[in-house]
Amino acid sequence: MTSQNLLELTDLEVVVGRGTSEENKILGKLSLKIKPGDFICLLGGNGAGKSTLLNVLAGAIQPTSGKILHAGKDISKESEVKRSSYIARVFQDPKLGTAPRMTVAENLLLAAKRGQKRGLKLRRLKENIPAFKEALEKVNPDLAGKLDLPVDQLSGGQRQALSFVMATYNKPELLLLDEHTAALDPRSSRKLMEATDEQIRAKKITAVMITHHMEDALKYGNRLLVLDHGQISHDYQGQAKQDLTLQDLAALFD
């Protein structure tokens, strides 16, 4: 590996409507280094560019200019499909990321085969059941008894927990969490956030998480980035992050 950074973003710009009266710069000359093992919480007001940044990392949006290096290799123009072999994502909407008419077990089998070459071979579903149960127990024990249930019969919290298990089943190089607890009730949100932190720590997953909850941004992760008008205005790490208070963060958005 030619770089100590998992990902290195240099002078990234995302401009829509370029050359028209509607031109809008969403990200502007943004640079960021993500090291293996980083758990980054991303804060910012509406329109700050948070979701656009995650879309650029995932390959769903190609930057207008700038460069993205993955372990030293330029992936700026690499497709979302290709990046999905090493970048996993959990969306805010529990309905995204799962196949609703397939069972919980069948969805997990898809996750287990992510990044593998497709071909005509046996599913081998039954032999994977013990491993699937074990993975579900660690995030949402109730799901372990619902392996044969179609996903569209799960509650929102259960479905989002399944999405998280699927995203982390084969440890991704980078996990993107796009406000993945925001659509849940407070109890389900808290339980999934605690399970998220436990799994990220246990598997040593590198993660970037968008959150609107300042308490979560203070409690979780080793870095806290604040995005403002498409640029990183603050990058708190180490002791600087530990010393932050809710009042400090609230003052940034006054």
Average pLDDT over residues 12-19: 88
Question: Does the structure show a pLDDT above 80 at 254?
Answer: no
Q: Count other Cβ atoms within 10 Å, centred on residue 42.
A: 26
* Tokens found for residue 238: 């180490």
pLDDT one-digit tens code per residue, 96-112:
889 999 999 999 998 98
* Tokens found for residue 98: 């799962």
What lies within 8 Å, CB to CB, of 238 at 6+ separation is 222
Split at pLDDT 50, 70, 90, the class of 1 is very low
Cβ contact 151:104 at 8 Å: yes
Cβ contact 40:205 at 8 Å: no
Cβ contact 91:29 at 8 Å: no
**What pLDDT was estimated at residue 123?**
64
> Which pTM value belongs to this model?
0.92
* Tokens found for residue 212: 């609107």
Strand partners, 234: 226
7-252, CATH topology level: Rossmann fold (3.40.50)
**What pLDDT was estimated at residue 124?**
74
Domain boundaries, the chain: 7-252
Question: Does the structure show a pLDDT above 50 at 122?
Answer: no
**What pLDDT was estimated at residue 63?**
94
Angle at 185 between CA 87 and CA 41, to 5 degrees: 40
**What pLDDT was estimated at residue 4?**
85
**What pLDDT was estimated at residue 120?**
40
Split at pLDDT 50, 70, 90, the class of 118 is low
Residue with the bigger pLDDT between 116 and 8: it is: 8
